[in-house]
Structure 1
Amino acid sequence: MVKIGSIELGDFPLLLAPMEDVSDPPFRAVCKENGADLMYTEFISSEGLIRDAAKSVQKLDIFEYERPIGIQLFGSDIETMGECTRIATRANPDLIDINYGCPVKNVACRGAGAALLQDIPKMVLMTKAVVDATHLPVTVKTRLGWDESTKNIMDVAERLQDIGIQALTVHGRTRVQMYKGEADWTLIGRVKENPRIKIPIFGNGDIDSPEKALEYKNRYGVDGVMIGRASIGYPWIFNEIKHFVKTGQHLPAPTVTDRIAACRKHLDFSIQWKGDRLGIFEMRRHYANYFKGLPDFKQFRMRFVVADTYDELLAILHEVSETYEELMYNG
């Protein structure tokens, strides 16, 4: 049984990665329904939370059915990170996660996210400030290092464990790699094998199939895997991996009806949580992913991204249902 503090996550938990502009409550709802064991909010700026910025505060919204859930924070100032941890703790998540992995320029160039990989003593002090500011378990997500010449994850893992973090997720790339190339899990496996490491180690990067999840579980010995981009438009990946790990068999692929139902649930919650205008607008990035692989879908995709009322969207979903169910039936 893998545990973070007193949170029991099963034998091989599957974590939903915190993804900016993706991992909001509507998206998390469909992932939870389809087998995600532990989820995180989108990362929240400590400075934004201190300023009471509306977007940052809204990201604190969590719902009972999502548990266990972590609030992920990032920032460049130690004192501010401690204060925003106290604010996040009042939102009553199950844990607090610190982002030391985000590679994007407007985060890293402000001294936050993966930038801390260039200043391990500051990372250690910041992590201690967060641990001291909450009664909740604190976890960390980071990368192998800043670049090829500074892959310092072994040192980072030991030092962060020593000051009290209770789990570590490692993305198998450096900051300089961004999301390019193939993730290297070799060092993740070495962190897990380190006899000094007692906390759960989760691997992240390129897990996009049940076969790969099982292969990496066996090869690198990680306690669980975190899935990000492969879950966008395909929340079924969590249950597919669980079933394959347990039985060696594949679940049937989601039908067109399954895809429409998940998309509809996501859309409904998006509107409920964000309001009609924003809820409809922000769903536009998801339609192509929900219906990926369907032949000649471009005409529908174009209509989805210009539709601006709920009734229009329902009508398009109905057409998709009729078009592709008939196609599958005749096929």
Structure 2
Amino acid sequence: MRIGSFQIDPPVVLAPMAGVTDKPFRQLCKRLGAGLAVSEMTTADPRLWHTAKSQRRADHAGEPDPISVQIAGYDPQMLAEAARYNVGLGAQIIDINMGCPAKKVCNVYSGSALLQDEGLVARIVAAVVKAVEVPVTLKIRTGWNRDNRNGVAIARIAEDAGIAALAVHGRTRADLYQGEAEYETIAAIRDAIRIPLMANGDIDSPQKAAQVLARTGADAVMIGRAAQGRPWIFGEIAHFLRTGEHLAAPSPAAVRDILIGHLEALYALYGEQAGVRIARKHLGWYAKDRAENAAFRTVVNGTDCAATQMRLTRDYFDRLAEGQPLAA
């Protein structure tokens, strides 16, 4: 799949997720096989560009190409200016958020709330595409609610305005993350447009990725929640799509090394206090499928010290690797 001049290979993409797809996680997922990793959404409001949080999100030093930055807002000119601002900071692809279903986003008429107003969608995508010379992508849902699945109409608007690629989550805004994703609308969008298409929603295994690609005709899959605690899923999917074979699950020692590197990157970016706090959710995700996860989470969540959190994590996975019993 190509987005502008960028070849996205493998065609397995990390979805933008607020509070998750920061630079350490994007770098990790790219290293483990993602062909593209989209940033967590950044605000289009210039009053917030110079906060510590926004400046941290705008740090792309050391990230492998292509650097894709998602912007969120409701005003076409404000979004156009945000696109220019982020390109100036190193963004090589600009992604427009029209997929987030969160109330705090939709209540200010951003994210998937925009799908209610096709005229505004057209003005936004046209303004952003015109504002920058880099490719502009768009992430949407299938519609506002199940009675108003207007994803095909939005996709045509996007293509006509010059959007370089489209990502579609197989739920409406009203569905939030409940129930099962549906792929019929994504397939209908594939039939309606010629630009590259990424299918998103409930893709949690190599087999599911292959099935969704076959069912929708999409050019790539986009992985969100399934990558939380399992960033090697990108390599697993890429290998399966290429060979039809499954990779062996990573050993506890391999998971330990991945996680230790992730913790080090979090501490380096956020500092000890915030880094330890942010690491807790990742530690919980890494351990969530293990019988001992409750005990592990209790231990690692009980410290505010990076060295202690690191030691406890290393000890936990060392004991798993050695086949030792873990205390409850």
Q: Same fold (TM over 0.5)?
A: yes
2:315 is aligned to 319
How many pairs does the alignment contain?
325
C-alpha separation between the residues in 2 aligned to 1:80 and 1:168? 21
Q: 1:65: how far off? A: 3.7
- Would you say the 8 A contact 1:217–1:223 is kept in 2? yes
User: Where do 4+ consecutive residues of structure 1 move more than 4 Å?
Assistant: 48-51
2:299 aligned with 1:303, yes or no? Answer: yes
Look up the SS of the partner of 1:148 in the other structure: coil
Look up the SS of the partner of 1:41 in the other structure: coil
Q: 1:40: how far off? A: 1.0
- Would you say the 8 A contact 1:50–1:84 is kept in 2? no
- Would you say the 8 A contact 1:201–1:222 is kept in 2? yes
Provide TM-score, normalisation by structure 2.
Answer: 0.95
Specify whether residues 48 and 309 from structure 1 end up closer, same or farther in structure 2 by C-alpha distance, changes over 3 A only. Answer: farther
1:221 is aligned to 217
2:244 aligned with 1:245, yes or no? Answer: no
2:188 is aligned to 190
Residue identity opposite 1:217 in structure 2: L
Q: 1:63: how far off? A: 3.2
2:55 is aligned to 57
- CA distances 1:28-82 after superposition (whole Å, capped 9, x unpaired): 1211111000111110111156553331232111134431121100002222111
From 27, 35, 38, give the equivalent of 2:36: 38
Residue identity opposite 2:44 in structure 1: S
Look up the SS of the partner of 1:85 in the other structure: helix
Provide TM-score, normalisation by structure 1.
Answer: 0.94
**Percent of counterpart pairs with the same letter?**
38
Residue identity opposite 2:222 in structure 1: M
- Would you say the 8 A contact 2:24–2:265 is kept in 1? yes
Specify whether residues 192 and 139 from structure 1 end up closer, same or farther in structure 2 by C-alpha distance, changes over 3 A only. Answer: same
C-alpha separation between the residues in 2 aligned to 1:301 and 1:93? 36
C-alpha separation between the residues in 2 aligned to 1:49 and 1:38? 29
Question: Which deviates the most, 60-69 or 18-27?
Answer: 60-69
C-alpha separation between the residues in 2 aligned to 1:45 and 1:314? 33
Unmatched runs of 5 consecutive residues or more in structure 1:
none
Q: 1:112: how far off? A: 0.5
- Would you say the 8 A contact 2:48–2:54 is kept in 1? no
C-alpha separation between the residues in 2 aligned to 1:107 and 1:94? 25
Residue identity opposite 1:30 in structure 2: L
Q: CA RMSD in A?
A: 1.5
2:93 aligned with 1:95, yes or no? Answer: yes
- Would you say the 8 A contact 2:287–2:296 is kept in 1? no
Question: Which deviates the most, 279-288 or 317-326?
Answer: 317-326
